[in-house]
Structure 1
Amino acid sequence: MTTVLITGINGFTGCYLAEELRSAGYSLVGLSSTETIQNASSVNYVCNLLDHEKLIDILTEVKPDVVVHLAAVAFVAHGDVEAIYHTNVVGTRNLLDAIIKSQHIPRSVLLASSANIYGNALIEPIDEKASAAPANDYAVSKLSMEYMARLWLDRLPITVVRPFNYTGAGQSLNFLIPKIVDHFKRRAPILELGNLDVVRDFSDVRSVTQCYRLLIESRTQGEVFNVCSGQGHSLLDVLQMMREISGHHPEIKVNPAFVRANEVHRLVGSSAKLDAVIGKVPVIPLKNTLQWMFSHRL
């Protein structure tokens, strides 16, 4: 069996990717910064990405055929800027160096960046040739990670993915869509939001993880791929869908504390390059994803 090491396996994306790969017959090894419960279908290690020596020990022991690097500070408004850069840049560098020092080169190393690196792009849909214009520390950290990873391209089969916004059942309420769905679930009378005029390319996490699996199997290297639906939805669209799903009509208020001065107003991607490599993965309509999230019980 092909062994895949997933960093951040306990995270939102990691859980869904583990299920996607497990269903496809892969053997899984998880890396997490918090305690995990070992089970029959995966072996889990607790290790902070900043612990370079422990990373080397784990990679030397596991000798994975594939590494998928998801672990990151992934919340744009995360308050600890130092943690964003340490985890997303230094932590990734530690991982790549540990792979080399383990003296076992995987056949694929997939690094998760972010479409946030594009900022307020002047073209739409945004393809991989668009100029980077990061508008927050999270985006800068992801772009810095990409540049750092280029130093390893002659030694490791690295593929970088730039996922646009995606969501699904189980995502933290820190994120916008789960927050909105939660308010409708609770039938809260008032919903306070920030910028209402933003447009995003929302995907379903299950589609995103399917794309990751197919990229692993395509054995690409040295390439960057957008992962997106190619469809833009405004926040007002999302609110209307939730009204239709729930039958609830809360009062919508703009809270100035939630308005970001450097907000990226439109972020809609092109998946043409990815489609040419893995084929067209069917897009799950956003309303279907919202219905799944609304009906989901923990």
Structure 2
Amino acid sequence: MNPQHKLLITGASGFTGQHACKHFVNAGFDVTAIINNNAYENDDVHIERCDLTNKDEVNNLIKKVNPHYLLHLAGQNHVGQSWIDPIFSLEANSLSTAYLIDALRQEYPACKIVVAGSALQFNPANMSTLTHPYSLSKTLQVLIAQSWGVLYNMHIVIAKPSNLIGPGYSNGVCSIFAKKVADMENNKAEKVLEVNNPNVQRDFIDVRDAVSAYETLLLRGESGEIYDIASGKNHSLKDILNRLESLTTVKFELKSQSNEILERKAEIIPIKLMELGWKPSFSFESSLLDILNFYRGNLK
């Protein structure tokens, strides 16, 4: 193991974090997984508990681990929850990032950092693009990270992933649909799927491809840059449901509140990331099958 590959991963017990821990261990990194109150077991990594909204705990963590790399995945990622408790979203997404980066500035400023932003960030120059407190918290997170990079000459890269999908417990729409189908197969749910508008389009990228992109950015990303992580293809909710229906013998009814035809969204082409040598490995179809099989094997 390369002694210069000491990696700190925050949010390690989450959907992306668990995939990240597995990926980076297999890639030869010495991984320290940061969790807060969630249960998490992994014999292949060092596990540390830390409340990232507590400045003293963060400072002590960085002094103890002294990482060469930081992959910052932790945070509050639910739009609805951000309306209920906007201050917590600011603390979990923005303030925690400031504490982490500033602790590294003091203890190990040469650390290479990747901060996971969001496709839901807004343009601060146009306040009409601000739609919810979650967007505010993620935008401030990115501004803080970029500012420390400029002010203190730190190596900080921003990743901007689209909608992550793949096996594992997730609150994403593909996982919600797949779980419902798996429940239908076992007669644990009514054979009906409800959506607001099946014509809504989104870009989906497999979480395993996203984690591979994070490695690319840690090793070759340019400081101060923002890199889109996306498949480059949009899929409607109806498309997801049609593909899931092709993967099961269950026939289900689709109920929608609206069938309004929406303007086609521009595709997100991750050109800068691909120029670094990254390319996705998982097709949309294989990701959906892996999600469905995960829930088939983890029925509750």
TM-score of Structure 1 vs Structure 2, range by shorter chain = 0.7 to 0.9
Task: Name stretches of at least 5 consecutive residues in structure 2 with no aligned partner.
Answer: none
**Matches for 1:1-298 after TM superposition, within 5 Å:** 1=2, 2-36=5-39, 39-78=42-81, 79-101=84-106, 103-117=107-121, 133-154=129-150, 155=152, 156-172=154-170, 174-187=171-184, 188=189, 189-254=191-256, 266=265, 268-277=267-276, 279-296=277-294, 297-298=297-298
Report the Cα distance in structure 2 between the residues aligned to 1:166 and 1:96, rounded to whole angstroms: 25
Flag as ranges the 4+ runs of structure 1 deviating above 4 A: 35-39
Asked if structure 2 preserves the Cα contact closer than 8 Å seen for 1:107 and 1:219, the reply is no
Identity of aligned residues (%): 25
Deviation at 1:255, TM superposition (A): 5.7
Provide closer, same or farther for how the CA distance between residues 58 and 208 of structure 1 changes in structure 2, counting only shifts above 3 A.
Answer: same
**Letter paired with 1:96:** I
**Letter paired with 1:270:** I
Length-normalised TM-score, structure 1: 0.86
Deviation at 1:6, TM superposition (A): 0.4
Length-normalised TM-score, structure 2: 0.86
Deviation at 1:287, TM superposition (A): 1.2
Report the Cα distance in structure 2 between the residues aligned to 1:132 and 1:218, rounded to whole angstroms: 35
Asked if structure 2 preserves the Cα contact closer than 8 Å seen for 1:110 and 1:160, the reply is yes
Provide closer, same or farther for how the CA distance between residues 182 and 109 of structure 1 changes in structure 2, counting only shifts above 3 A.
Answer: same
Provide closer, same or farther for how the CA distance between residues 267 and 235 of structure 1 changes in structure 2, counting only shifts above 3 A.
Answer: farther
Provide closer, same or farther for how the CA distance between residues 266 and 85 of structure 1 changes in structure 2, counting only shifts above 3 A.
Answer: farther
Provide closer, same or farther for how the CA distance between residues 43 and 99 of structure 1 changes in structure 2, counting only shifts above 3 A.
Answer: same
Q: Which moved more, 1:75-84 or 1:240-249?
A: 75-84
Report the Cα distance in structure 1 between the residues aligned to 2:228 and 2:160, rounded to whole angstroms: 5
**Letter paired with 2:163:** N
C-alpha RMSD over aligned residues: 2.4
Deviation at 1:134, TM superposition (A): 4.0
Provide closer, same or farther for how the CA distance between residues 107 and 93 of structure 1 changes in structure 2, counting only shifts above 3 A.
Answer: closer
